[in-house]
Amino acid sequence: MAKPKIGIYGLTGCGGDQLMILNLENELLDLLRNVEIVAFQEASSVQQDEEVDIAFVEGSVSTELDLERLKDVRKRSRMLIAIGDCAIGGCVQAMRNQEMTMKEKMEEVYGKGEEYFKVLEPYGLSKYVNVDLELQGCPIETTEIRQVFLSLLHGDTPEIKDYPVCVECKLNEYQCLLVDKGMPCLGPIIAAGCNARCPGLGIDCVGCRGPIMNETNAAEELHTLLEKGYDERYIENRLRFFGANFEGILKLSKMLREKTGGARGK
């Protein structure tokens, strides 16, 4: 039987998710015995633009070139997997989405009033094409990408975490940083999968795994942190840092802007 063909591609992002795949190191050799990698942007300059069984794509769609490349990859792939928060929701690049137009951003940052760059407001892949699977993280975890490869090779559906970081804190018997210490921990609304790495070190969760899909109760997180004495704008910024394009956080930001007459500050 022919080996499944895999392509690993990058759009606008730091390349960290591709690096995590490379960090599988010796396991990559076993993987190569079972698949044919025809494109791997961060590992090789050789890029074969051919049809693939599975395309892994990282990075957000932030330029017209990104969008063109994404549509081409989607057309050539049987299955497309978004890897990392940039590819899922825009991540850090999207934290100021909706607060001003791209033209206004160009004027403020570059002093250019015209469309100097062919930029788009950063979004994840699913805004533009059908995505078959999303693997969260900034960056993704090597344990999860390994499991995804194994599951797909065996014809199984990979397990995607649909519960919060708090569950992993409880399983590890860590002290609750939000309740017990009043720290601005986002664990209640952030997808698990990191084994609560930061809370285990006494560091509150900043949300780098991204919000739990379709279950983000950002309003309750805001209420909880307000009770702890944190400022509205601080909480909003914290929520938007990795999750600005998620519906619950979008609604919350809109509500807060309306409450203050649109004057949100920086």
pLDDT of residue 263: 54
pLDDT of residue 205: 98
Both 241 and 124 in one domain: the answer is no
When divided into structural domains, the chain yields a total of 2
Percent of the chain with pLDDT over 70: 96
Q: If you average pLDDT over every residue of the chain, what do you get?
A: 92
Both 89 and 188 in one domain: the answer is no
Contact 106, 117 (CB under 8 A): yes
- In angstroms, the CA 28 to CA 265 distance is 47
Q: Express each pLDDT in 114-166 by its tens digit.
A: 666 788 999 999 999 999 999 999 999 999 999 999 999 999 989 889 999 99
Query: Which whole number is the average pLDDT over 74-92?
Result: 97
Whether 27 shows a pLDDT value over 90: the answer reads no
Query: Which whole number is the average pLDDT over 2-26?
Result: 94
Query: Which whole number is the average pLDDT over 33-44?
Result: 92
Query: Which whole number is the average pLDDT over 13-29?
Result: 92
Both 130 and 30 in one domain: the answer is yes
Both 149 and 171 in one domain: the answer is no
Residue 41 corresponds to which tokens in the numbers above?
Answer: 């942007």
Does 253 reside within a domain?
yes
State the pTM of this model. 0.92
- Domain endpoint, select from 153, 173, 199: 153
pLDDT of residue 108: 86
Both 35 and 126 in one domain: the answer is yes
88: CB partners within 8 A, 6+ apart = 82, 124, 125, 126, 134, 136, 210
Does 159 reside within a domain?
no
Does 188 reside within a domain?
yes
Sign of the Cα torsion 66, 68, 72, 74 reads positive
Whether 223 shows a pLDDT value over 50: the answer reads yes
Both 129 and 191 in one domain: the answer is no
As to burial, measured by CB atoms within 10 angstroms (0-12 exposed, 13-18 middle, 19+ buried), residue 145 is buried
Comparing C-alpha atoms, which of 112, 124, 156 is closest to residue 60? Answer: 124
**In terms of residue numbers, what domain contains 216?**
165-259
Whether 113 shows a pLDDT value over 70: the answer reads no
- In angstroms, the CA 106 to CA 170 distance is 45
CA-based R_g, the chain, Å: 20
Q: How far apart are the first and last CA of the chain?
A: 57
Q: Express each pLDDT in 191-214 by its tens digit.
A: 999 999 999 999 999 999 999 988
CATH number for 30? 3.40.50.700
Contact 248, 217 (CB under 8 A): yes
- In angstroms, the CA 235 to CA 266 distance is 13
Both 46 and 76 in one domain: the answer is yes
Both 141 and 177 in one domain: the answer is no
Both 183 and 125 in one domain: the answer is no
82: CB partners within 8 A, 6+ apart = 57, 58, 88, 124, 125, 126, 131, 133, 134, 135
- Domain endpoint, select from 153, 181, 213: 153
Does 169 reside within a domain?
yes
Both 54 and 23 in one domain: the answer is yes
Does 137 reside within a domain?
yes
Whether 264 shows a pLDDT value over 60: the answer reads no
Does 31 reside within a domain?
yes
Both 22 and 148 in one domain: the answer is yes
Q: Express each pLDDT in 142-153 by its tens digit.
A: 999 999 999 999
Whether 87 shows a pLDDT value over 90: the answer reads yes
Does 93 reside within a domain?
yes
Does 264 reside within a domain?
no
Whether 266 shows a pLDDT value over 70: the answer reads no
As to burial, measured by CB atoms within 10 angstroms (0-12 exposed, 13-18 middle, 19+ buried), residue 262 is exposed
- Domain endpoint, select from 100, 123, 153: 153
Both 59 and 145 in one domain: the answer is yes
